[in-house]
Each structure stands twice: as C-alpha cells, then as structure tokens.
Amino acid sequence: MTTISAGCTTRRATFACAERQVLCDKLDDLGPAAPTLCAGWTAADLAAHLVLRERRPEASVGILAKRLGGYTEAVRRRILAEHEYPRLVDLVRTAPPRWAPHRFIPWLDAAMNTVEFFVHHEDLRRAQPGWMPRPITSEYEAELWGRLSGGAGLLMRSAPVTVVLASPAGRVRAGPVAGESVTVHGMPSELLMFACGRQGQAEVRYEGPEWATAALQVAPFGV
C-alpha cells in the first residue's frame, strides 16, 4: 500500500511527494541490482543515497563539498550494509523523518526534493533497456522549469561555452557570458536532465558550432 508522506498539503509540495512515491514504486519493481544512470550505482546504492540525504544530514554535506565526499560515501555504504533493500525503500517512501523541518514546511520539501526525486526516478527508468518517455503534465513541466530557471547557473557552472536552455516556457542562460554560444532545445523535464549531467540520455536538440556542442555533451554538469 502506498504511504503518502507528511507535508503534501500544497500543490507545489505535491509534485515532490508524488515523485517520491513513484520513485519508490520503481525501486520496488526493479529490485536492488537494477542499473542506474549514476556511475557505478545500482538501485540499492541509489536508495541508500536517498536515505542518507534525509536521515543523516551531517553526512550529506559531502554531496556538495567534494572534500568531504569520502565521509559521505562511507556513511552511504554503511547505510547500505545495515539495511535490507526493502527497508531502504521503505525509509525513502516514508521520509522525511519526524524531526526534519521539511516534514512540516511544504515549500521546503518542494525545494529540496522536486528535482532530486524527478532526476533519480529518471536515472532508474532510463538505465533500463527499451525505456520510453513518460507522460508529464504541463503543470509539472512548469514546476520543473521554475526549478531549472533558478538553478541552471549552479548546475552548469562548468559549461565551457555559453548555454541557452530553450523550452516552450522560455529561455535561461548559463555558462560564460562571452564566447561561443549553444542553444539547447527541449521540454523542461529534458533540459533538467541535461543540466543535471545526463546529457547522453536527455531528449534535446542542439543549435550551435559542432565543437561547442560536443564539449557540452561531456561537460561535468550537476551538483
């Protein structure tokens, strides 16, 4: 039976809450050994990462601060070793824990988890043979575009050229302010995957010099 997390009381929070549930459903369906788009990670590794984010905040700092990444990875591996896979998935599904602020502050849950859950759900889906795009409502696309518009500069800070992300919802610029420019066209959900470092699995179209496009396709985007 699906358990809906606390905090799903506003429209914006509902995107993160709903994505949490379908992500966990996919984890259940695929099993612990399923591949993901996260290099070297199985579905079990991904589940342990998601548990760490919400239940070990002192260890999650290494996700952003790379010099602390060794500690974060050690804690993630410990979580993976201490819990059977069904328990890991259950911890993700029923999170956030009672003491977490975003359990009671819906906008904080949306800010922390909308992009995280969407991208990792797609990491599971798109790593499977014969995957197909899933239907995404225009309302959800608009929410993802809002998140991407606000975070594109951070996600694509390593861009070797100027990048213009162009969707039906608008355009946003990232990367250097001078030099060559590449416009990347797609739906907000696909542009988000691109900006999060999943260029090879994002359904986008490039407009710009061939060498610049090639450089973008291997740039280390994401947090």
Rounded CA-CA distance 174/139 in Å is 24
Report helix, strand or coil for 57.
Answer: helix
pLDDT of amino acid 102? 65
Q: In what order do the strands lie in the sheet with 205-207?
A: 170-174, 162-167, 181-185, 205-207
User: Taking 60 as the threshold, does the pLDDT of residue 143 lie above it?
Assistant: yes
Amino acid making up residue 28 = D
217's enclosing H/E stretch is: helix 210-217
Return the bridge partners of 185, or none.
166, 205
Model confidence over 79-127: pLDDT tens digits?
999 999 999 999 999 877 676 766 656 677 788 899 999 999 999 999 9
Model confidence over 57-75: pLDDT tens digits?
888 877 776 777 788 999 9
Return the bridge partners of 167, or none.
170
Rounded CA-CA distance 198/177 in Å is 23
pTM (predicted TM-score): 0.90
Domain ranges of the chain: 11-126, 139-217
The CATH code for residues 139-217 is: 3.30.1050
